[in-house]
Chains A and B, each alone.
Chain A
Amino acid sequence: EVQLVESGGGLVQPGRSLKLSCLASGFTFSNYGMNWIRQAPGKGLEWVASISSSSSYIYYADTVKGRFTISRDNAKNTLYLQMTSLRSEDTALYYCARTSGAYWGQGTLVTVSS
């Protein structure tokens, strides 16, 4: 059974940093590109970042470019999102999703507030 389990969310002050993780199981993680997608409270879906299976290709939404870094460790079956210079508008439920969105995690909530 494919599982994606996010962790690392929490309450953080504006300007601070946070690192999210997504532990994958049930499939060969190193064969798939992965995405971070977020959803602000009561809002729709916003794609944040993508990384190819071997980390050769990485893309970011303009809203996070220069502040967020997506990475992966295929030996640990884990996807990461390093978030810096956090803003109130980054408050959202952050999902990791396998390429094409065939599988999603349950999400981890990031709240940016003083």
Chain B
Amino acid sequence: DIVMTQAPLSVSVTPGESASISCRSSKSLLHSNGITYVYWYLQKPGKSPQLLIYRMSNLASGVPDRFSGSGSETDFTLKISRVEAEDVGIYYCGQLLENPYTFGAGTKLELK
């Protein structure tokens, strides 16, 4: 199974500042079709997860452009520019390249 390792497990950010979350996969997530199958989700307190970024760098519908995703074949980054109060929650990376789909342990973002 592909292991997804996130860092840090928690981050505290001053509103208006930026934050970065890293995710590393144990295997390349680059498919032969050129698509990298890493996804980012945010689970706000008491809510279902929501998709932020798909296929490494594509912003999901309705997601503010303060969010961006980047990376290589095995190392990925979610960046949040100008953090707002509504960004609080747990961020998960996930791989949908192959079954079993797997997720990172999550990164909890809090405000200072």
Q: A and B, one complex?
A: yes
Q: Which residues on A sit within 8 Å (CB–CB) of B61?
A: 102
A46 and B92 CA atoms in complex are apart in Å by: 11
Contact B48 A35 (CB under 8 A): no
Nearest CB on A from B27, distance (A):
16
Interface centre among A44, A46, A62, A106 (most CB of B within 10 A): A44
A50 and B99 in contact, given A44-B105, A102-B54 (Cβ under 8 angstroms): yes
B94 at interface by CB-CB < 8 Å: yes
A102 and B106 in contact, given A47-B101, A95-B48 (Cβ under 8 angstroms): no
A100 at interface by CB-CB < 8 Å: yes
Q: Which residues on A sit within 8 Å (CB–CB) of B96?
A: 100-101
Contact A45 B48 (CB under 8 A): no
A100 and B100 in contact, given A44-B105, A105-B48 (Cβ under 8 angstroms): no
A102 and B101 in contact, given A44-B106, A45-B92, A45-B94 (Cβ under 8 angstroms): no
Q: How large is the interface on A (under 10, 10 to 19, 20 to 34, 35 or more residues)?
A: 20 to 34
Q: Which residues on B sit within 8 Å (CB–CB) of A97?
A: 49
Taking a contact as CB atoms closer than 8 A, the residue among A46, A47, A102, A107 that contacts B48 in the complex is A107
Contact A44 B100 (CB under 8 A): no
Contact B60 A47 (CB under 8 A): no
B41 at interface by CB-CB < 8 Å: yes
Binding site for A on B (CB under 8 A): 39, 41, 43, 48-51, 54, 60-61, 90, 92, 94, 96, 99-106
